[in-house]
Amino acid sequence: MSPTRSRVSPPLVALVGWLVPGGGYWMIGQRERALVVGAAIVSLFVLGLLLAGIRVVEVPGYDDFGARVHVDALGHRFHRTDPGYPQGRWALTGRGFVGEIANKPWYIPQIVAGPITLATSALSVKAARAGVARVHARLMEVGVLYTAIAGMLNLLAIIDAAYRAAADAAAEVDSR
């Protein structure tokens, strides 16, 4: 085992890698790789935001105006202001939550980019409530693509850092 690496639990490395892009590499002692990967992921995500605006992150469960949406088991969408709005939350089965994610599948790779997406999601809903319009052009698609690629790159970094942490632990056990 090299002197710059320390034995760290792979699940902890994966969690830190999600919380801070490149953080998993930092934990296993690969500082340069951590900085390069982290900067690349954050730069891609921010560039996507700069290209298409904060509304590039479309939060499942919210409509274009920032209002909470309820989706029943049959896939019908209800707004809070609609008569007969169900008082419960989303159905986690059927077409409720799953249907809402299916309407915005690009949110899954965006959320893998880390807490930066959670903060951006809150700002996106706030901007929608304030009347900020979404870009409806190819620029929006490019912005979504950049933010989703940032998430997928972060997923690859998380998997690689956790694998390297596990390999370091296995090498240490083998050397005993």
* Per-block mean pLDDT, blocks of 10 residues, the chain (176 long): 64 97 96 98 97 92 80 56 51 58 88 95 94 87 96 98 92 73
Is residue 69 a part of any domain in this protein?
A: no
Is residue 163 a part of any domain in this protein?
A: yes
Query: What's the domain range around 154?
Result: 1-57+113-125+137-176
Is residue 73 a part of any domain in this protein?
A: no
Closest CA to 52 of 165, 150, 134: 134
Per the CB < 8 A criterion, the answer to whether 171 and 1 are in contact is yes
Is residue 29 a part of any domain in this protein?
A: yes
pLDDT of 169 reads: 82
pLDDT of 94 reads: 46
> What total number of domains does the chain contain?
1
Report the length, in residues, of the chain: 176
Is residue 169 a part of any domain in this protein?
A: yes
Cα angle value 108/41/50 (rounded, 5°): 85
Is residue 170 a part of any domain in this protein?
A: yes
The two three-digit tokens of residue 61, written as one number = 């469960």
| Residue 112 φ then ψ, to 5° | -70, -15
Is residue 105 a part of any domain in this protein?
A: no
Distance, in Å, from the CA atom of 165 to the CA atom of 156, rounded to the nearest integer, reads 14
**C-alpha radius of gyration, the chain, whole number:** 20
The helices-and-strands tally (H runs, E runs) of the chain is 7, 2
Cα angle value 71/75/76 (rounded, 5°): 70
pTM of the model: 0.81
